[in-house]
């Protein structure tokens, strides 16, 4: 997927034109609302440019993410209801690659998977599941990379956070979100925010 949009700059002037979108599969509205919301907010805060809630519609999550965008700034695509197979197919047609985060994949630390992903210089769709994913996720037709953030069971939210932090080498932590109404003032103790104009 080609991206002709201007690069988003962090407070240190670091820019990236690569688009990274997270696709969440298997969301169960009766039990996954909080965790799926956290996956979306983690994606937003740690440098992804969008989120797809595939195969289902959950208006509550959409409203939460849109409210965060309005108050805390930045541009963050939120899409829902699109079948995962269609999302993956469209992404690949537009030239992007697909990274499936799974405990069964190549270990992020022990392999050169991250180096190979970066070297392609393509937009990235990251697949994360909330339950046992379809076996097709592991196939070459779907994922270009199966990557494990440790080969032990743990949270998909944690895997996404570690992957994005490693991918951006920590630079996403100083990203400035434009059009914010509220901003946190970092300090050693207490809580302080300021109103942005």
- DSSP states of 26-87: ---TTT-HHHHHHHHHHHHHTT--EEEETT---HHHHHHHHHHHHHH----EEEES--HHHH
pLDDT at 6: 36
pLDDT tier for residue 11 given thresholds of 50, 70 and 90: very low
pLDDT higher than threshold 80 for residue 75 = yes
* DSSP structure class, residue 175: B
pTM over 0.75: yes
Tell me the CATH architecture of domain 8-195.
3-Layer(aba) Sandwich (3.40)
49 backbone φψ class: left, alpha, beta (φ>0; ψ -120 to 50): alpha
The tens digit of pLDDT for each residue in 30-67 reads: 899 999 999 999 999 999 999 999 999 999 999 999 99
> Residue 145 burial (CB < 10 Å; 0-12/13-18/19+)?
buried
pLDDT higher than threshold 60 for residue 5 = no
Yes or no: say if 57 and 81 are a contact pair by the CB < 8 Å rule.
yes
| 146, two tokens | 């199966």
Distance CA 160, CA 91 (A): 19
Yes or no: say if 24 and 130 are a contact pair by the CB < 8 Å rule.
yes
């Amino acid at each position: 997927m080609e991206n002709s949009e201007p690069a988003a700059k962090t407070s240190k002037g670091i820019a990236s034109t690569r688009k990274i979108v997270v696709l969440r599969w298997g969301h169960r509205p009766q039990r996954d609302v909080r965790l799926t919301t956290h996956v979306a907010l983690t994606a937003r805060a740690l440098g992804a440019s969008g989120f797809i809630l595939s195969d289902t519609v959950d208006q509550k999550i959409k409203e939460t993410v849109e409210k965060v965008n309005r108050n805390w700034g930045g541009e963050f695509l939120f899409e829902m209801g699109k079948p995962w197979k269609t999302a993956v197919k469209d992404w690949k047609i537009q030239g992007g690659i697909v990274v499936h985060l799974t405990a069964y994949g190549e270990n992020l630390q022990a392999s050169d998977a991250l180096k190979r992903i970066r070297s392609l210089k393509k937009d990235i769709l990251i697949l994360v599941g909330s339950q046992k994913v379809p076996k097709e996720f592991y196939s070459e037709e779907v994922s270009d990379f199966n990557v494990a953030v440790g080969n032990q069971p743990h949270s998909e939210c944690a895997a996404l956070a570690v992957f994005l932090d490693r991918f951006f080498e920590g630079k996403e932590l100083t990203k400035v979100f434009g059009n914010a109404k509220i901003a946190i003032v970092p300090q050693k103790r207490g809580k302080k925010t300021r109103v942005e104009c």
